[in-house]
Amino acid sequence: MIEPKSVLAAVDEAMAVGLDVMRFVHDHPELAHEEHRCSAYVAGALARAGFDVTQPAGGMETAFVATLDGSKPGRTVGLTCLYDAVAAVRPDGSVEAVHSCGHGPIAGGVTAAAVALAALRDDLAGRVRVIGCPADEIHAPGTIRHGGGKARTAEAGLWDDVDAALYAHPEFIDTVSVESRWMRRERAQSAGTRSMSGTPEEPLRAAAAILAVNALDVMVERLELDGDVEEGTGLVCSASVLVFADSAEELEERCAALRAAVPGVTWESGRTYEGVRPDPAVREAVAAAMADAGLAFVADPPRLPFATDFGNISRRAPAALIGIGRPGGWAFHSDEGAEQFASADGEAAALALARVLALSAARLVDRPG
């Protein structure tokens, strides 16, 4: 295995490239499946470092796969790279792309880790693969239409020959998450006719029923009524509802309860976001990497209160969802958060993320298969 001090020195050398990528991504916010400039910029930095880049990938224009072969036989480690922005809804109803979830530091940190490993190629075993995953943000219009990038890369088989999948994200503590929620988007539609005489309209009944289902641990994501304003003309209620649960079985039960609570509408199910399933050996390697990086690994973290489609990857390849902590955490999905991630704290998160990923990968590629 490459000595940790050599990995850390290589990361420090590579951070100029990483910070350049971080700043570019932050300054060029693009929504889900529209990240043409950012994905190309990250892929270009990896190509210049010696990675073999394929783009598009997995049936998505803004996804990519970048691969670097070491000089010795070993295992394949995959690094998850994000670069999409949050679809921030403003008070006037407009949607603005804003980097308020840490994807700038993620893109920069992943790039720095990859560039550092490329510099150590003569001593590197196995293979490093960076998979650029668009559409991380669940509520972005492109994600709703086309699906999350991590789930879709898993469906496309891009992780099938990966021996360890690593995904690092700024969080409150330094850890590997052991639990997250399950989630599915359920879409409802009710069609009827407009009444101007006070007769209850079926689409309005459906809308009222949908707004009343929060006790089922669901989130009404979107609700729209659209139709003409003359007696007997068309009226349609369309809605999307996010259903959350702590297991696959519970998710099915809650989706069934939702449909029973809102009868008489047409339902359509979206992709399931599966709960994360960490691999013990990968988790152990990350814990050792955090120790080498001078971070205090939290061995018993609380369950993540949200769903992530990295869970879909973790059920197809040995994996770890890595949290990079900051005292007090981050103001996610807010203008304050956008300022934090562009600040010196964001740069520090990118550096810590790069160190942990590079150290973890250096350990994992050198393990016997």
Whole-number pLDDT of residue 332 = 97
In tens, the pLDDT along 273-322 reads 999 999 999 999 999 999 999 999 999 999 999 999 999 999 999 999 99
Which pLDDT score, from 0 to 100, does residue 367 have?
64
Q: What is the 3-state secondary structure (H, E, C) of 282-294?
A: HHHHHHHHHHHCC
Residues of the chain with CATH 3.30.70.360: 182-272
Closest CA to 309 of 176, 143, 83, 188: 143
Q: In Å, how far from its chain's centre is CA 168?
A: 10
Higher pLDDT, 368 or 289: 289
Compute the average pLDDT of residues 112-131.
98
Q: Can you give the pTM of this predicted structure?
A: 0.96
Q: Per-residue pLDDT for 195 more than 90?
A: no
- Percent of the chain beyond pLDDT 90? 94
Report residue 106's pLDDT band, with 50, 70 and 90 as the boundaries: very high
Q: How far apart are the C-alpha atoms of 248 and 273, rounded to whole Å?
A: 10
* Percent above pLDDT 70 for the chain: 99
Measured distance CA(16)–CA(39) in Å, rounded: 18
Confidence of residue 191 (pLDDT cuts 50, 70, 90): very high
**pLDDT of 131 higher than 60:** yes
| CATH domain 182-272 topology | Alpha-Beta Plaits (3.30.70)
User: Which pLDDT value is given to residue 368?
Assistant: 60
Class for domain 4-181+275-365, per CATH?
Answer: alpha beta
pLDDT at 346: 98
pLDDT of residue 358: 98
pLDDT band at 199 (very low <50, low <70, confident <90, very high): confident
- Asked if the model's pLDDT at residue 162 lies above 80, the reply is yes
When pLDDT is averaged across residues 121-137 and rounded to a whole number, the result is: 97
List, by residue range, all CATH 3.40.630.10 domains of the chain: 4-181+275-365
Averaged pLDDT for residues 253-271: 96
Supply the pLDDT for residue 356.
98
Amino acid at 152: R
Backbone angles phi, psi at 143, to 5 degrees: -65, -40
Q: b vs e for 97-132, b when ≥16 Cβ sit within 10 Å of the residue's Cβ?
A: bbbbbbbbbbbbbbbbbbbbbbbbeebbbbbbbbbb
Beta-sheet pairing, 72-81 with 164-170: parallel
The predicted pLDDT at position 369 comes to: 52
- Residue 215 — very low, low, confident or very high, per pLDDT cuts 50/70/90? confident
Give 196's pLDDT tier (boundaries 50, 70, 90): confident
Instruction: Give 43-52's long-range contacts (Cβ < 8 A, gap of 24+).
Output: 43/132, 45/17, 45/20, 45/21, 45/111, 45/115, 46/111, 46/114, 46/115, 46/130, 49/17, 49/114, 49/115, 49/118, 49/119, 50/118, 50/121, 51/114, 51/118, 51/130
CB neighbour class for 312 (10 Å; exposed up to 12, middle 13-18, buried from 19): buried
* pLDDT of 200 higher than 80: no
- Rounded average pLDDT over 66-81: 97
Read off the pLDDT of each residue in 170-189 and give the average, rounded to a whole number.
97
Among candidates 89, 83, 77, which has minimal Cα distance to 60? 83
Mean pLDDT, the chain, as a whole number? 96
**pLDDT tens-digit profile of 323-346?**
999 999 999 999 999 999 999 999
The SS3 of residue 161 is coil
